[in-house]
Structure 1
Amino acid sequence: MLGAPSTRLPRPEWALGEAPMPLMRELPPPSPFPIDALGGVGSAVVELMHRVIQAPVALIGQSILAAMNQASQPHANVCIDGRVSPLSEYFLTLGESGERKSAVDGWALAGVRQHQRSLMTQYDQDRDSFEKALEVYEVASKRILGDKKLSNEAKQARLRELDKPTAPVMPLMIVSEPTTEALQRQLIIGEPSIGLVNDEAGQLLGGHSMSQEKRLGMLTTLSRLWDRGEFDRVRVGDGSGSYYGRRLCMHLMVQPMVAASLLADPLAREQGFLARCLVSYPQSTAGHRSYVETDLNEAFAYQHYARRVTELLAGPWPKVDDHELDPPSLYLSAEAKRSWISLYNDLESGLAPEGVFAPVRSLASKAPEHIARLAGTFAVFDGDEQIHEGQIDRAMRLMLHYLAEALRLWGAGQVKPELKLAQELLQWLRVKVGTGRVVTLTDIYKNGPSAIRSAAVARAVVRILMEHGWVIAGEHPKAKEAFELVEGR
């Protein structure tokens, strides 16, 4: 344990004074995740995984829904009165370390990764054959071009007779930390439908691709892919162009402190990226979990789910060529369309200045499209040729969850950075130091939270804790600046 024992005598109860003030407003409880909205296959596997893995229901639900969306997105678009949208969705799930995000992600995407592994095995063999054929082609081409007996016209005719080999398609289905350039290139040379999935997305959100100078480019590319499944690429050397018929599903799992910076980012809001994200922050289950002796691979609910994901991934995709999709349109049944129009009008009324959704207007204005995309995902996953009213109802219940979470979280993301640091330091003091011990300023910026790495920052953050009554000045034999955590009361 850090710090030295305090020499200060404990104060009697009558002298303790007022309790410390909260550093920030506590979040209200999360909105319940509507498991049954995922349908028979989806809800069954979520309930099974929750019983066995015991991660939060919403965390599991987000992972399963994202996998369903990735598997479904290449197979259809949704069309309402000529307005065509991809099925692709972006999911953002908040969870502290220890919430078993990796375990959930591993099981939810096991079928996707297994399919990718088998395709990569074949790809390696095809690549070897391609490189050998290319070598033969290049030798033959050089021989023709070097033949002085042939005219230029004859050389071109002979070259056209050669069968130039075509490179196999890189069958990458999942990427985790791409730069904007890498993401675009993968969608140019690889499969036209992929997932951007990361169970520790702090590495992505805090990395090079989301740095100050790169952030706008990444958010713009992600937004255009969500909107129409297309992007433009302008490069010197390896060509420029516009690319169509691409699909990207995204699911980022991230710690709340990291997500707070994204939720409060003016650029992410004003550019519209956050309005394209479906966010959920479930209550932790840590401390209430016991080991369950069950192999998910042997459970019918999991087998059923995994089999359907694999079928959609392996089944024929509607392609123009190896790298471009041309999905057919899914239409709403008459009952489904009436229900969707009614929801559209109700949601629109909530966007007025005094409306319930005014604080999250950008998300609520896209809610009807989110509902259509989710319902389209359910229709493809269920094997239906049109969207039914029940699928609109299921998508609506999910969207109400996401709107409730946005109302809960978007304001919390705008807490001042210094208060977030103070909250982080307070938690560190509680865990690493405790009451009845004195910690020095040097201990704080050398051993404390990683965001506090200078005396000036440490001093400023400690001052906030003192002003709120969480810390008092202490006496230390070797340091002038020392502090004690106030006893909880």
Structure 2
Amino acid sequence: MSKFSIIQSFQRVIARGRPPHDAELMKPTTRVKLPKGEGKMEWPHPSPLPHAEAPATDYPVNCLSPGLQKVVQAISNKTQAPEAIAAQSVLAVVSLTMASHAKVRTLGTSLANAACYFVLVALSGERKSATDKWAMGGVNRTVLELREQHAVRLKEHKEHVASLERSAEKPQAPVCPNFLVTEPTIEGAFKAISSGAGFLGWFSDEAAMFFGGHSMSQEKQALTCGILSKLWDGSFISRPRATQEGDGYVPPTPTTVNMMFQPNLIRQAYGNDFMLGQGILARVLPAWPQSKMGSRRYRRSDPADDGLIVDFQNATAGALRKSLEESSEKSLELSEAAFAVCVAFHDAVEDELGRGKWAADIGSFAAKAPEHACRIAALLTLYEDQEATEITEDMMNNAVEIVKYHLGQFKYLCVAGTNEDAVSHAQKLLDWLKTNLAPGSGFATEIILQNGPVTTRNRKAMDQALAILIEYGWVAKLPDGTVVGGKKRRRAYMLNPKA
């Protein structure tokens, strides 16, 4: 096939996917003719499928600090990704670069690390990698600069050693500070910690490598979850091995986690009884934003947004350098008013932990909600003023609202984690039917098998999805022999006229 023919074929495919003209917007209803003796059908109001799609909850961008609001909106504008994706990426970068040597007072008696754990659930194509790329620009640039500087120092070291007398004591080789793990494994994390940077960033825009990898295998899952929990808690780790030097002591290491995975891993994570019971998920702030795919027309980047993103990258790169050069810790205390806000939030959450209450079945995460709020308040505060020593009432109020969002997301994901794949497939089929058929249309199964969503183009998966749609009132099976599209059908269905 010639290059010209390939281009023509591609253009025809694209043309079929273009938004319809006004004349095409009116989808004709495919009439049905029921067999003799069959009465008129009564239709219920259909019910939403249970937690098959992302919840219709907006991220509370207005609760970020003024500077972070602008950055998040700029990245979201540039990538056309949901604001929750931009917010998670931006806060994770602030956690790594500005909060790695910061502690924050909580309602407990001791200070806690200000660094946070984040997880994002999003479909492939949702531009989560692009969003992370812009948010991580300053960090990635610094990593490359450090590697280049290390290469120069290593060359100078080798030249110096070569010039020494044979009997002279040789100096130790320089070590490049390593604080970033992008293919997350426990072994990789410990190797990074051993470089002496004093903090760790565990970042992955494809967490399937983590959940499907060696670290989360059946025999390693307990160890991995336990270590991640200890890092969040600020505890030291002791893991002596017969084959290693030293006693295996791993110092308390402030750690930021930011992982992104697709919805097909929800069951593997939030449907995992061990991970829920062990407590690692209680330490992670989750988000599953609604998709924007299908509404992202091309537009040129706004220079004002570009400028805000560059300023953020420069600010985080500078803070990262400072964190590497100055290892001293700082602490943030709660003002009296901020403390009162946190206490009120604690008591409100505690009330919902009672038997039969809203948070009773997510107690592990809900119990940590006040500490999450303190950590988020620290991030908001430090981005506006890296020299700050106190969290204000306004910052704590904003952090509480952000954590309330995550509480809702956590509960929703836990319910979604109990769904079978068939529910997700049924949702995709429902979306396809509503897009391609007018309410009240009849249809035969052959149109699904030939043209429907990929996940329902085999008979078994299609039958499971249709059964779910019937159960929730979206579709009804028509009697055998019903005429649809001028033909008698052995298997015919109708889309609810109220769809």
Q: State the TM-score bracket (shorter-chain normalisation).
A: 0.7 to 0.9
> Is 1:399 aligned to residue 403 of structure 2?
yes
CA change 1:397–1:18 in 2 (3 A) is same
CA change 1:326–1:82 in 2 (3 A) is farther
Q: Which amino acid aligns with 2:376?
A: L
**How far is 1:79 from its partner?**
2.8
Q: Give unpaired runs (5+ residues) of structure 2.
A: 1-12, 14-29, 438-442, 481-489
> Is 1:189 aligned to residue 206 of structure 2?
no
* Contact preservation (8 Å) 2:177, 2:196: yes
User: Which residue among 122, 133, 140 is the counterpart of 1:95?
Assistant: 122
In structure 2, C-alpha distance between the alignment counterparts of 1:312 and 1:485, rounded to whole Å: 64
**Cross-structure match for 2:353:** 351
In structure 1, C-alpha distance between the alignment counterparts of 2:84 and 2:202, rounded to whole Å: 19
**Cross-structure match for 2:33:** 12
**Cross-structure match for 1:75:** 101
**Cross-structure match for 1:234:** 240
**How far is 1:229 from its partner?**
5.2
> Is 1:205 aligned to residue 211 of structure 2?
yes
CA change 1:310–1:183 in 2 (3 A) is same
In structure 1, C-alpha distance between the alignment counterparts of 2:354 and 2:31, rounded to whole Å: 55
Partner SS for 1:59: helix
> CA offsets per residue over residues 424-448 of structure 1, 9 Å max, x none?
89589989x997574999x9xxx96
**Cross-structure match for 1:270:** 277
* Contact preservation (8 Å) 2:154, 2:173: no
**How far is 1:418 from its partner?**
5.6
Partner SS for 2:354: coil
**How far is 1:311 from its partner?**
2.1
User: Which residue among 355, 362, 368 is the counterpart of 1:366?
Assistant: 368
Which stretch has the larger CA shift, 259-268 or 417-426?
A: 417-426
**Cross-structure match for 2:225:** 219
* Contact preservation (8 Å) 1:130, 1:168: no
Which stretch has the larger CA shift, 102-111 or 208-217?
A: 208-217
Identity %: 24
In structure 1, C-alpha distance between the alignment counterparts of 2:87 and 2:304, rounded to whole Å: 18
> Is 1:410 aligned to residue 437 of structure 2?
no
User: Which residue among 140, 145, 153 is the counterpart of 1:118?
Assistant: 145
In structure 2, C-alpha distance between the alignment counterparts of 1:423 and 1:56, rounded to whole Å: 24
> Is 1:42 aligned to residue 68 of structure 2?
yes
* Contact preservation (8 Å) 1:375, 1:391: yes
In structure 2, C-alpha distance between the alignment counterparts of 1:296 and 1:235, rounded to whole Å: 54
In structure 2, C-alpha distance between the alignment counterparts of 1:290 and 1:465, rounded to whole Å: 31
In structure 2, C-alpha distance between the alignment counterparts of 1:214 and 1:428, rounded to whole Å: 39
Partner SS for 1:331: strand
Partner SS for 1:195: strand
> Is 1:168 aligned to residue 214 of structure 2?
no
Q: Give unpaired runs (5+ residues) of structure 1.
A: 2-8, 145-160, 320-324, 453-457, 475-482
In structure 1, C-alpha distance between the alignment counterparts of 2:347 and 2:428, rounded to whole Å: 46
CA change 1:341–1:471 in 2 (3 A) is closer
In structure 2, C-alpha distance between the alignment counterparts of 1:208 and 1:17, rounded to whole Å: 54
> CA offsets per residue over residues 197-237 of structure 1, 9 Å max, x none?
22222232222222222222211111111111533333232
In structure 1, C-alpha distance between the alignment counterparts of 2:66 and 2:129, rounded to whole Å: 24
Q: Which amino acid aligns with 1:49?
A: I
Count, aligned residues: 437
> CA offsets per residue over residues 232-270 of structure 1, 9 Å max, x none?
333232234222241221111211121232011011101
* Contact preservation (8 Å) 1:330, 1:387: yes
**Cross-structure match for 1:180:** 186
Q: Which amino acid aligns with 1:25?
A: P
> CA offsets per residue over residues 329-364 of structure 1, 9 Å max, x none?
221222222222222222222211133322211111
**How far is 1:396 from its partner?**
0.6
> Is 1:25 aligned to residue 32 of structure 2?
no
> Is 1:464 aligned to residue 464 of structure 2?
yes
